[in-house]
Amino acid sequence: MRPIAFGLLASLILSTAAGQPAAAPPPAGSLSPELRALYVDLHQTPELSLHEEKTAAKMADRLHRLGFDVTTGVGGTGVVGVLRNGSGPTVMLRTELDALPVAEKTGLPYASRVHTKNDDGADVPVMHACGHDVHMTCWVGTAEAMAASKANWRGALVLIAQPAEERAMGAKAMLAAGLFTKFPKPDFVIALHDTPVLASGTVGYTSGPALSSADSVDVTIFGRGGHGAHPEATIDPIVIAARTVLALQTAVSRETNPLDPAIITVGSIHGGAKHNIIPDEVKLQITVRAFRPEVRDHLLAAIERITKAEAQAAGAPKDPEVRVVESCRATFNDPKLTARVAAALRRRLGDKNVFEVPPETASEDFSEYSLAGVPSVIFRLGATEPRRFEHARASGESLPSLHSSFFAPDPEATIRAGIDSETAVLLDLLGKP
C-alpha cells in the first residue's frame, strides 16, 4: 500500500473510535505455534517487488498441504490456489507477497536484517514495513480454517498471493496472465490491510470510494548551466523548478473543486553538484492522488501544462520531460458487498470492535479487481497493541505509520483477528443456501 496523510487519517479514525473499548479479546484464542513461526519467518526474510520467489514458494507449499489446486508463476511470482467444494459461488481472497526497501529499526528480536540488490543494482535494506507478512499469515490461517470447515460452505474458494503490490504492478500482471479466465472467475473479491491507527482486535470498513488513485510522475526540467557567478549567461533550471513546485499547487487550490480530494506532492527535487555551478537540468518526483477519475486526469494534465509554461516563461532550451512511471487507480468498495461484509464482521468480532472509517489517500492496486468487473471489498485490520493505542489517543502521540522503519504490529492479536475476520466473511459469502 502506498500511504500518505497519515496524521489526518489517524485523527479521523481515533475520533471515530473515541469512547469505545480498544478491543475485545480475539474470539478464537491464541495462534498456533506453526502460524507464529510462519509470521516470524516471513518477517525475517522479506523480498522486494518482482523478486518474491522464496516467499511465493512458502505460500504455495502451505496451500498444497491443505489440498488446494495450486498454480505458481502467475503474472510473475503470483500464486493461485483453488479449493472446490460443490456447487456455489466463487470467492477470491487476496494477499500480497512483497516488502519494501526500508531499514528496520523496531528493535524486535526477529527484525529483518536482509540486504539485497534492487533493480538498479544498488544495495538496499528490506523490511515488511507495510505488514504484508501479517496479511500472508492471516491468509494461510484462513486457508487452514476454510479447509477444515468444508461442511459449512459450498462453492469455490480462490486464494491468490499477489506480487508487486508496492509497485502497483502485480494485480494487472496476474489479470493479464489469465487470473479471471484460466481460473474460476470470482463473484466477489475480498482483502484486508493492516493499519496502525486501529487497535489490534478491531477492524474498519469503508463503503464506496475507499482508497485514492496514485500516480508517480518523473519530471526533468532543462536549462543551460554555467558559473554561479554569472547567472545572466545561463538559464537556471533550479529557479524554474522552484517556480514549478509552487505553481503546481494552484492546480489543487485554484483549479479543483474544494469538495473533491486532490493532492500534488513533490517528494524529491535533485539538481546540481556544487555551490557555484548552475546545472543543466533538475529532476522532480511527484505523487498525485485523487478519488474521481476526472480529477486525476485534470491533475496529470495540469502538471504537463504548468511545467511546460514555466519552462517557456524562463526561455528554457526545450520543454520539460514528463513521465508517469507508476499508477494505480482509485479503489471502490462495492456498497452492497460492504454492507454484507460489515454485518459478518460484527457478528464475529462484536459491534464495539467494528468501525466505519473514512476514505484514505493511500492507494492499492487491489482496485484492478473491481475495475475488471467483480464486486470487491478491502477492509482495515487494527494492528496497534490496545494499551499503546489508548495512550496515543489520550496523548496525541503519532504512531509509526505504514512504510516507517519503526512500524511493528501487535502480531498475535492482529493475526488472530485477521483470520477470524476473513473466515467470517468467507463463510458468509460461501455459506450453504
pLDDT of residue 21: 39
Architecture of domain 6-212+330-430: 3-Layer(aba) Sandwich (3.40)
- Beta strands at 115-117 and 90-96: parallel, antiparallel or unpaired: unpaired
CA dihedral 80, 136, 419, 373 (to 10 degrees): -50
Domain 213-327 top-level CATH class: alpha beta
- Beta strands at 90-96 and 155-162: parallel, antiparallel or unpaired: parallel
pLDDT of residue 431: 86
Amino acid at 126: V
Among residues 133, 181, 113, the alpha carbon closest in space to that of 35 is found at: 133
Q: Using the 8-state DSSP alphabet, how is residue 317 labeled?
A: S
Sheet architecture: strand order including 262-270? 262-270, 281-290, 213-222, 321-328
Helix axes 293-313, 237-248, angle to 10 degrees: 150
pLDDT of residue 197: 94
The helix or strand, by DSSP H or E, that contains position 198, with its residue range, turns out to be strand 188-199
Contacts of residue 134, defined as CB under 8 A and 6 or more positions apart, other chains included, come to: 39, 128, 194, 381, 383, 409, 411, 414, 415, 418
pTM, to two decimals: 0.90
The helix or strand, by DSSP H or E, that contains position 297, with its residue range, turns out to be helix 293-313
Residue 164, classified by CB atoms within 10 Å of its CB into exposed (0-12), middle (13-18) or buried (19+), is: buried
pLDDT of residue 4: 40
pLDDT of residue 30: 78
> How are the residues of the chain apportioned to helix, strand and coil, as percentages rounded to the nearest 5?
35, 30, 35
CB 11 within 8 A of CB 393: no
Cell 527535487 locates to: 269
Rg over alpha carbons for the chain, rounded to the nearest Å, is 23
| Low-confidence stretches of the chain (pLDDT beneath 70) | 1-29, 432-433
pLDDT of residue 22: 40
H-helix segments, 87-177: 132-148, 170-176
Span 143-172, pLDDT tens digits: 999 999 999 999 999 999 999 999 999 999
pLDDT of residue 26: 38
Span 35-90, pLDDT tens digits: 999 999 999 999 999 999 999 999 999 999 999 999 999 999 999 999 999 999 99
Residue span(s) of the chain under CATH 3.30.70.360 come to 213-327
pLDDT of residue 9: 47
Q: What backbone torsions phi and psi does residue 334 show, to the nearest 5 degrees?
A: -55, 120
Identify any residues that bridge with 95 across adjacent strands, giving them in sequence order: 161
> Could you tell me how many residues make up the chain?
433
Distance separating alpha carbons of residues 309 and 303, to the nearest angstrom: 10
Span 383-395, pLDDT tens digits: 999 999 999 999 9
CB 16 within 8 A of CB 193: no
* Residues with a known catalytic role: 98, 165
pLDDT of residue 110: 97
Using alpha carbons, list the distances in angstroms from residue 178 to 52, 77, 139, 167, 207.
20, 14, 22, 20, 28
Distance separating alpha carbons of residues 56 and 81, to the nearest angstrom: 12
Residue 30, classified by CB atoms within 10 Å of its CB into exposed (0-12), middle (13-18) or buried (19+), is: exposed
Residue span(s) of the chain under CATH 3.40.630.10 come to 6-212+330-430
Among residues 70, 86, 66, 67, the alpha carbon closest in space to that of 155 is found at: 86
Span 278-300, pLDDT tens digits: 999 999 999 999 999 999 999 99
CB 214 within 8 A of CB 288: yes
End-to-end CA distance of the chain: 36
Sign of CA dihedral 34, 38, 39, 41: positive
